[in-house]
Structure 1
Amino acid sequence: MCGRYTLATPAERLAEEFGVSGPLPEIPPSYNVAPGRGVAAVVADDGRRRLEVLRWGLVPAWAEDPSIGNRMINARAESAAEKPSFRRAFRERRCLIPADGFYEWRRLLEGGKQPYYVRRRDGAPFAFAGLWELWRGEGGEKIRSCTILTTRPNRLLREIHDRMPVIVPPDLYGLWLEGGAEREELEAVLRPYPEEELEAYPVSRLVNSPANDGPRCIEPAA
């Protein structure tokens, strides 16, 4: 799964990286982005990309209680197109969720778990494959929310966890955001990211608590 990640890249750089137009939201830097928070996402309307803030934890349009989003932070790439909670979003509302890196926890033989930080070797920001939805409450409340797709791990992540987030190659950003793309075409996106382009190292257990949010979270463990 993907339950925590980082994003400290300024919105202006993200706009350039992802071809975004229009006004930019305020996106404070975070080294411990946690579910339930507002997260940056790139969505497309009529061929134009915009950067907005969505709540992490997808709330299906048909949900009676928006708290269901607490259990919808990830969607399996292998089954999202068929799952009632995700299939409409998979068909019509795909998005890119920018990140600088993400955390995964490795189970230790002696007990407990060791957090690892995973990022691109060149340090550049990248994008998770995401889905988004709009929920409307009876009282007029609106929630725009998202989930991150996961897939089987590549060889680097296999030693740490049995799942990894889907990372979209830059040359496939357009395909992923394109509303009319066929499911067969999207299979090119829903694959483990090449391990040679990533690096992973153990970090402090500070990241275990969402209350800890600063550069120390990504420092290599002593």
Structure 2
Amino acid sequence: MICKDNMPVRCVEKEGLNRLLKKCVPHFKMPCRSTVTTTIEEKYSQCVGAVMKMLSNANDVAFTCDAVTISNSSRSFLTITAHFIEKDSLNSICLAALRMNQISDVPKPEDVFDDFMSAHNHSITKELSGVSEQNKELKLYFSLPQASWECNPLEVWKSHRATMPGLYKMAMRHLITPGSSVPSERLASAIKCVVCDARSRMTDIHIKQRVFLKSLNSDNWDLC
């Protein structure tokens, strides 16, 4: 509740919550703030291990970055979000929220754009050369009726996995790339919710832990 709903740790001392628990589970003893903080830290360590295992088993992973400035403390963070397919579903997890202490004075290489485009063109050429060897899959793909806009592309390609294995692998590699910045910005904006006006003194390490735990969906949370 504290991590997913952005509740302050001190909510365990709130009169209303304690009265509710006393009514629902009279024999339950509410843990103190320090115990809850320790529990969150332990949960973070467990979930980091589970996420690392998932990423190691993923065929492809896409990364997005976003910069966020917390207005109530004038602190800036760089968030790094991973997008990958796990159990035939697209997952987005905020791996880190790194404090930016100063502006980098490292000069940008002049050929950085050329290097990026060269690598991009090389990957496209490699994929196209592989597709050209699978003309049967292409002909089958173009003969299929167009899928509706409302359908899930992962489910569509899953149904064609046996008949078009080459194109399926290529589609999975590209579908993990977000079509917009919304998934990355949604998770990055969680920092502003975690560090609200009532919690402007939260440490950087606890901010990283809370943002990471909030970005986990229910299935990933239960795995930890």
TM-score of the alignment, normalized to the shorter chain, above 0.5: no
Structure that is richer in helix per residue: 2
Greater relative CO (CA pairs within 8 A, separation 6+): 2
What is the TM-score of this pair, normalised by structure 2? 0.25
Which of the pair is proportionally richer in strand? 1
Name the TM-score, length of structure 1 as normaliser. Answer: 0.25
